[in-house]
Structure 1
Amino acid sequence: MRSLKAAAFSTAVLLAATACGGGGSEGGASEAPDSLTVWVMGTAQDPVKKYFDTVEKRYQQDYPDTSVEVEFVPWADAQQSINNALAGGDAPDVLEVGNDQVANWASQGAIMDISSRTDEWGAVSDMDQAAVEYGAYDGSQYAIPWFAGVRTLYYRADWLKDLGMDPPQTWEELVEVATAIEEEQDVPGFAAPTDFTNGIASFIWSNGGEIAVQQQGEWQGELTSPETQEAIEFYAGLTSEENISPQAYVGENELVPLADMANSEVGMYIDGGWALTSMEEQAEDPAVLEEIKAAPIPGADGPAPAFAGGSALTLFATAEHPDAAWDLLTVMGDKKGGKAYADAAGYFPAYPEMLDDESYQSDPLKAASAEQMKNTQFFPATPNWNAADQDGKILPGAVLDIVKGEDADKVLEEANKELTETLNKPVA
């Protein structure tokens, strides 16, 4: 059995996994390996371990003699762990990667071109096609979507009920509702942190803008387009002009208003379903949590798109038994396996037809997220996106400068130039 000894792994769970997908292995059980290794990002939570117990029963129907070692890799250690594997260290067969990291790892040769396999797997046609395209790089498919999560607008339902108002669906309504909350409750009506690319992007997309587009093989920043600039200035103006978001969120990310939301210190803010656990931990009065509800993110003229953050499944470039590994991937990512993992991890499956499932629609918070999942977009699919956003903070930095009073035209012109140059840097 393959053994993984990388120190980055905080938890390792050995599971005799078994399952067969619809991938169509060429070799079949007669050429099955003794073991396969799967890298899953995050920690070994009980629902996820139970998920792999189910995968086990399915996979061994065709691979009865193959065991699977599942290693849980903390997200913070993922890059170093994959780099170590690339350098010749212990490596997985199947692995989970962030959906915004596919282009990065494909460009470095860490993951396998699975185009011929996905072309023959019928389940792919039922997946969110935009998410499928996000798993491609340089004309080839390198990963398929596994699950996704979106941000929504959290709001105090009891406060809005007292005001006789519904959750805002447009920018105009957002300002109106936030102003009413502040007048009635004496707390900020809305949180607009500046270090929040995911939230800012929704405002841009809802106004018909883009962050960057690809033209004839080159990336072109779009921060100075009329639609994008209007959205950025509106978002910045929620703090500097409309004054519905306080200065306390300038330079901050969504973690600061999360704590405030849990303790009745802000009326509305944008975050993902994963924030609920943190709210439970930070709420001084647990009863408050019962009044926190969710709705799709308000946009320029109606609900805004949201970035569908999540993960993709792929094969490591050095997988010794790619056919068997692919069959395991299909078990994890087909409709049964995909929904089961999404439910275990608290996300949504990659199949749009499942978003109307009763298990989601019966829970108001999940229903809002499921509805938002029907309206999603993605960041530029380039290995350089992280350099532009996480490292360079080009978009949030521009918003921060505008909030501080710098000239928006000049700020966005300089930011757009930097964005274009960064996205077009040669991939090593």
Structure 2
Amino acid sequence: MKLRRLALACLSTSLLAGCALVPSGGTERRTVTVWLMKDSASTEFLERFTEEFERTHNDLDLDIRIQEWTGIGEKVQTALEADTPDGPDVIEVGNTQVPQYVDGGGLLDLTLESMRDWGLRDWLPGLAEPGRQRSTQYGIPWYAANRVVIYRKDLFEQAGIAGPPQTREEWLAATEKLNSGGNQGIYLAGQDWYTLSGFIWDEGGDLARQDGGVWTGTLDTPAALRGMDFYRRLQALGEGPVDADEEHPPQAGVFAEGKVAQIVAVPGQARAIVRQNPELDGKLGFFPVPGKSADKPGAVFTGGSDLVVPKNTDQRDGAIAVVEELTGAQWNTELARTMNYVPNKTTLAGAVADEEGVAAMAAGAAHGRATPSTPEWAAVEADNPIKEYMTKVLTGADPATQARRASRRITEALAVPLG
């Protein structure tokens, strides 16, 4: 029973003087304010969660407030810096945003809680790693989404390809076979740097590395150059523009035109494709981005959200209870099924096995990564030298020379503290 209900009940009696705003158990209820992002969870899911949480935590009420992504960084930072605990007690943040909030010193250390019984060993690395700084866990993984290969089953069959390729080399061979009859074997834009990142990670490389507290761009390492070379070979098997990313033009629209066999995208793009071309309904399939060997899929960039608790909360125990429930097996599984997400733990992947696109995402997410865990990475993306590097290589420039230039620009951007 909420405090407002109790107040109304008091006003309906003649015993106003003896009425107290406490439930029958004698414990005053406290309110935990939760900021969640728009469209992260359905209204129906949140209603069911709230009802069950308040039923099983008889001293807590939930006040869930939906936030817009636009301008959320400044709004969260303001809440974390507030002197009074009037703001949120739990906040959903993008997994790659956690480092900038950690850097400001406004997040509660959740290491002990996550080590206790929250299953940290099974967390998806692409969600867990950005939420951690020097072995201290601030962000708790909530849900993930990542790229898979969306493909035309009918075109695969016509080309005599029995099923999804299991390795990178099989992928190249299949794509070359598909690249005939007026069709593009794959549509891969030249500046799709998220997809490139996965190939670099598969080779053992990184976009940047930290040594002694100093970040350095590492696109010029042999491993990273091998990743770029594979990207070049794959991209050449289609007609994607070398000087644009996957949103210019939107690749779902290009696929919907009916002359593309594959794209690398989140599974949700399939709905956009079918909306634009209903004739493709039932013809689309999904498989994880292939890896170097058949025993595991390729690495992918993992997007998604973590839950954090502001250090200035005055509802610490209640906030931790909310995080524990939302990220626990029951509600995390239900969220994944409801919203077609990847659950936060590899051990929960079976919960989405019946949905082909989500199952493909989950397989890739087990080997997923995130961008370098430093708040200054935002400056890299703001004037992204990786995109320019990719275009230069795809138009014939020397890869090693261009990689050194791009790495220097990354190093320079990471050396300048934000704010």
Common fold, TM-score beyond 0.5? Answer: yes
Q: 1:210-248 CA distances to partner (integer Å, 9 max, x unpaired)? A: 222222332232211112112213313444xxx312153
* 1:264 maps to 2:258: yes
Identity %: 23
| Greater Cα offset, 307-316 or 217-226 | 217-226
Partner of 1:168: 165
Residue 270 of structure 1, CA deviation: 0.3
Pair 1:34–1:363, CA change in 2 (3 A) = closer
Pair 1:328–1:86, CA change in 2 (3 A) = closer
Letter of the aligned partner of 2:186 in structure 1? F
Contact 2:190 2:241 in 1 (8 A): no
Partner of 1:24: none
Matched ranges for 1:330-349 at <5 A: 330-349=324-343
Pair 1:203–1:141, CA change in 2 (3 A) = same
Residue 87 of structure 1, CA deviation: 5.8
Partner of 2:12: none
Give the TM-score normalised by structure 1. 0.83
Q: Supply the distance in 1 between the matched residues of 2:35 and 2:338 (Cα, whole angstroms).
A: 16
* 1:361 maps to 2:353: yes
The alignment's C-alpha RMSD in Å is 2.6
* 1:85 maps to 2:79: yes
Alignment: residue pair count: 391
Q: Supply the distance in 2 between the matched residues of 1:112 and 1:318 (Cα, whole angstroms).
A: 8
Q: Supply the distance in 2 between the matched residues of 1:116 and 1:362 (Cα, whole angstroms).
A: 35
* 1:183 maps to 2:180: yes
Contact 1:189 1:244 in 2 (8 A): yes
Contact 1:82 1:110 in 2 (8 A): no
* 1:314 maps to 2:305: no
Q: 1:337-384 CA distances to partner (integer Å, 9 max, x unpaired)? A: 211222222201112111123xx2223323322222332223211112
* 1:407 maps to 2:398: yes
Residue 65 of structure 1, CA deviation: 4.8
Return 5+ residue gaps in structure 1 as ranges: 3-28
Letter of the aligned partner of 1:387 in structure 2? A
Q: Which of 113, 130, 134 is residue 134 of structure 1 equivalent to?
A: 130
Q: Supply the distance in 1 between the matched residues of 2:373 and 2:31 (Cα, whole angstroms).
A: 33
Contact 2:267 2:286 in 1 (8 A): no
- Greater Rg by CA: 2
Q: Supply the distance in 2 between the matched residues of 1:278 and 1:324 (Cα, whole angstroms).
A: 40
Pair 1:30–1:404, CA change in 2 (3 A) = farther
Contact 1:32 1:324 in 2 (8 A): no
Letter of the aligned partner of 2:146 in structure 1? V
Q: Which of 270, 273, 276 is residue 276 of structure 1 equivalent to?
A: 270
Q: Supply the distance in 2 between the matched residues of 1:271 and 1:30 (Cα, whole angstroms).
A: 53
| Greater Cα offset, 155-164 or 35-44 | 35-44
* 1:295 maps to 2:291: no
Partner of 2:57: 63
Partner of 2:69: 75
Pair 1:351–1:95, CA change in 2 (3 A) = same
Contact 2:93 2:308 in 1 (8 A): yes
SS in 1 for 2:314: coil
Pair 1:73–1:249, CA change in 2 (3 A) = farther
Partner of 2:141: 145
Partner of 2:416: 425
* 1:326 maps to 2:320: yes
Letter of the aligned partner of 2:289 in structure 1? I
Residue 427 of structure 1, CA deviation: 5.3
Letter of the aligned partner of 1:253 in structure 2? E
Q: Supply the distance in 2 between the matched residues of 1:363 and 1:344 (Cα, whole angstroms).
A: 11
Contact 1:191 1:249 in 2 (8 A): no
Q: Which of 214, 236, 244 is residue 237 of structure 2 equivalent to?
A: 244
Partner of 2:6: none
Q: Supply the distance in 1 between the matched residues of 2:309 and 2:280 (Cα, whole angstroms).
A: 44
Q: Supply the distance in 2 between the matched residues of 1:417 and 1:334 (Cα, whole angstroms).
A: 42
Q: Which of 90, 99, 112 is residue 116 of structure 1 equivalent to?
A: 112
Residue 130 of structure 1, CA deviation: 6.1
Residue 266 of structure 1, CA deviation: 1.2
Letter of the aligned partner of 2:279 in structure 1? A
Contact 1:147 1:349 in 2 (8 A): yes
Q: Supply the distance in 2 between the matched residues of 1:138 and 1:425 (Cα, whole angstroms).
A: 20
Pair 1:84–1:280, CA change in 2 (3 A) = farther
Contact 1:102 1:137 in 2 (8 A): no
Q: Supply the distance in 2 between the matched residues of 1:133 and 1:330 (Cα, whole angstroms).
A: 18
Pair 1:205–1:143, CA change in 2 (3 A) = same
SS in 2 for 1:319: coil
SS in 2 for 1:72: strand
Q: Supply the distance in 2 between the matched residues of 1:207 and 1:199 (Cα, whole angstroms).
A: 13
Q: 1:63-116 CA distances to partner (integer Å, 9 max, x unpaired)? A: 335322212212223213213434649631111111111111111234322223
Contact 1:257 1:266 in 2 (8 A): no
Q: Supply the distance in 1 between the matched residues of 2:282 and 2:243 (Cα, whole angstroms).
A: 28
Partner of 2:150: 154
Q: Supply the distance in 2 between the matched residues of 1:160 and 1:83 (Cα, whole angstroms).
A: 49
| Greater Cα offset, 151-160 or 197-206 | 197-206
Contact 2:127 2:306 in 1 (8 A): no
Q: Supply the distance in 2 between the matched residues of 1:245 and 1:31 (Cα, whole angstroms).
A: 66
Letter of the aligned partner of 2:105 in structure 1? G
Contact 2:79 2:87 in 1 (8 A): yes
Residue 399 of structure 1, CA deviation: 0.4
* 1:385 maps to 2:377: yes
